[in-house]
Amino acid sequence: MAMLEVHDVHAYYGNIHALKGISITVEEGEIVTLIGANGAGKSTTLKTISGLLKPRQGHVHLNGEDLAPFSAHEVVYKGVSMVPEGRGVFSRLTVSENLDMGAFHRSDRGGISADMERVFDLFPRLEERRTQVAGTLSGGEQQMLATARALMARPSLLLMDEPSMGLAPVLVESVFDTIVDINKEGTTVLLVEQNAHMALQIASRGYVLQTGEIVLKDSAEGLRENPTVQKAYLGID
């Protein structure tokens, strides 16, 4: 049984039909990537998985359980945690307050402080800036904070929405290295990316989304070799 199974999901914003029958599966321990142009519906897909948006048709199963009856905060308790697009840190709170918020639904103090150490190992920059207000962090640091905060929930499935957005190439590489590290520690990752080149290097499989529909799915290698993908998303003619 797949860890995450999205089956024939249709989602709407009012009358806008944003997702038109999407099906995705993610196996435990994988990194799966979702690529597509602006407005294709990638963020919308993540929102329907995390419960922020309810599908009008189709279903989302996590470890065999239908998530339809659960609202967004309950989905967090089921082990799904999201790094929102545009970072979405609490900009007036400090770095450590933000991290505390990430562990909000947990009550194991010992575990929380151990995880705090763990994310500081992953992101030493954040440790130096524990008491700094998140809004004054650089863009890259805010991205780190958003990722670190999502990890504080100790998720089994991490949904990441464009973690490389607006980062310098060096930082992009280190963000992707971190994703691989997180994955090696046992977290399954569903990664939405514009940077298809990098995403397809660390992912095992990928889906290509176009105007609300999955137009291609294949192994990462398969997608890298695919002429359409090369042309549209990798910038290779």
Partner 1 sequence: MAKTSMNDLRIPLRLGLIAGGISLGLSAIGMVALFGQRELVTNVLTLGEVILLAAPLLLAYMSARQAPEAKAISAILYGLITGIVAALPLVALIVAASTLDLRQFLPNVSPALIELLTFNQGVIAGSLILTGVFAATGVLAAIAYNLPDQIRSPLSSGLLWTLTIGLFSEILSNRLRAFFGSGINQILFDGKALNPFAALALFIVITVIAAFWGRRKETVQEQISSLPPARQRNLRLASIAAGVVLLLILPLILGTYLSEVINNVGIFALMGLGLNIVVGFAGLLDLGYVAFFAIGAYSMAVFTSNGSLGISDLTFWSALPFCVAISAFFGLMLGLPVLRMRGDYLAIVTLGFGEIIRILALSDMLKPVIGGAQGILQIPKPPFFGTSLVQPEQLYYVILAGCLLAAFVSWRLSESRLGRQWMAMREDEDVAEAMGITLVSTKLLAFSIGAAFSGLSGAIFASKLTSIFPHSFNLLISINVLSLIIVGGMGSLPGVVVGALILVGLPELLREFAEYRLLMYGALLIVMMLMKPEGFWPSAVRRRELRSDEDDFTEAGALANEAGD
Ligand X SMILES: Nc1ncnc2c1ncn2[C@@H]1O[C@H](COP(=O)(O)OP(=O)(O)OP(=O)(O)O)[C@@H](O)[C@H]1O
Q: Pick from 100, 127, 213, 218 the residue near partner 1 by CB under 8 A.
A: 100
Least distance to partner 1 from the beta carbon of 219, Å? 30
Estimate to the nearest angstrom the gap between the alpha carbon of 158 and the chain centroid: 5
Rounded least distance, CB 109 to partner 1, Å: 12
From the CB of 160, what's the least distance to ligand X, in Å?
12
Judged by beta carbon distances under 5 to 8 A according to partner kind, the member of Mg ion, ligand X, partner 1, none in contact with residue 105 is partner 1
Q: Does 101 bind partner 1 (CB under 8 A)?
A: yes
Among 38-46, 109-117, 200-208, 221-229, the segment contacting ligand X (CB under 6 A) = 38-46
Nearer to Mg ion, 27 or 85 (CB): 85
DSSP-derived pairing of the beta strands 205-210 and 57-62 = unpaired
Strand order in the sheet with 16-26: 16-26, 4-13, 57-62, 65-66
**Is position 93 an interface residue for partner 1 (rule: CB under 8 A)?**
yes
Q: Should residue 189 be labelled a site residue for ligand X when binding is judged by CB under 6 A? A: no
**Minimum Å distance from CB 36 to ligand X?**
6
42 scored as a contact of ligand X (CB under 6 A): yes
CB of 120 to ligand X, least distance (A): 30
219: which strand partners?
205
104 interacts with ligand X by CB under 6 A: no
Contact with ligand X (CB under 6 A) among 16, 69, 184, 186: 16
Binding site residues, partner 1, CB under 8 A = 50, 52, 71-74, 76-77, 81-82, 84, 88-94, 97, 100-102, 104-105, 133, 135-136, 149, 153
